[in-house]
Copies of this chain bind each other. A is one copy, B any other.
């Protein structure tokens, strides 16, 4: 499905699209949200953007590549560390940010997910561009909380520190019960903080 370049797996694409390319990706994103992956056709994107299929395929060798690029393009601007000054504030900020991303890109993410099974490149890209960013954020926030003395360093467990974004993603993508601000605050106050603030066993 994807155009893997096995000889060059780690070569990250330029990802610095020209204005025209950004426009193509924007159209892709819009149609993707409107119609979903299966009903999205490269031809429709090209037609909508007054481009030709050759132009599309010159940049993104397959439909899946195009969708991935569109997804990355549409999500890369978020994910900046909140720095609210308190662990609770940071967690709430991260939760709000994740909720925002999810609201806009649920359909796209589902499409990308569907293709991850077949493309290690896509899977990796998804990790790097969405999951990993949130992880880094969580890590930063927790480390700062340690520095501030809010929590003990020992309670930070890489295996599960992304419970917050993870659960929110689940709620939005799988459970069809999109998370609200209240969801975030409950998760933070009733699950995460009690867990993080317990005395180390």
Could you list which residues of chain A lie within 8 angstroms of chain B, going by C-beta atoms?
A: 1, 35-39, 64, 106-107, 109-111, 113-118, 123, 126-127, 131, 155, 157, 159-160, 162-163, 166-167, 169-171, 173-176, 182-183, 186-187, 189-192, 194-195, 198, 201
Q: How far is the CA of A166 from the CA of B164 in the complex (A)?
A: 10
In the complex, what residues of B have CB within 8 A of residue A110's CB? 110, 113-114, 116-117
Q: How far is the CA of A157 from the CA of B198 in the complex (A)?
A: 20
* Closest-CB distance, A102 to chain B (whole angstroms): 11
Are B1's CB and A39's CB within 8 A? yes
- Residue of B160, B170, B195 touching A183 (CB-CB under 8 A): B160
**12 pairs, CB–CB < 8 Å, chain A vs chain B:** A1-B39, A110-B110, A113-B114, A157-B186, A159-B186, A162-B175, A163-B187, A166-B167, A166-B174, A166-B175, A173-B173, A194-B198
Q: How far is the CA of A111 from the CA of B163 in the complex (A)?
A: 24
In the complex, what residues of B have CB within 8 A of residue A107's CB? 117
In the complex, what residues of B have CB within 8 A of residue A198's CB? 194
In the complex, what residues of B have CB within 8 A of residue A195's CB? 190-192, 194-195
In the complex, what residues of B have CB within 8 A of residue A166's CB? 166-167, 170-171, 174-175
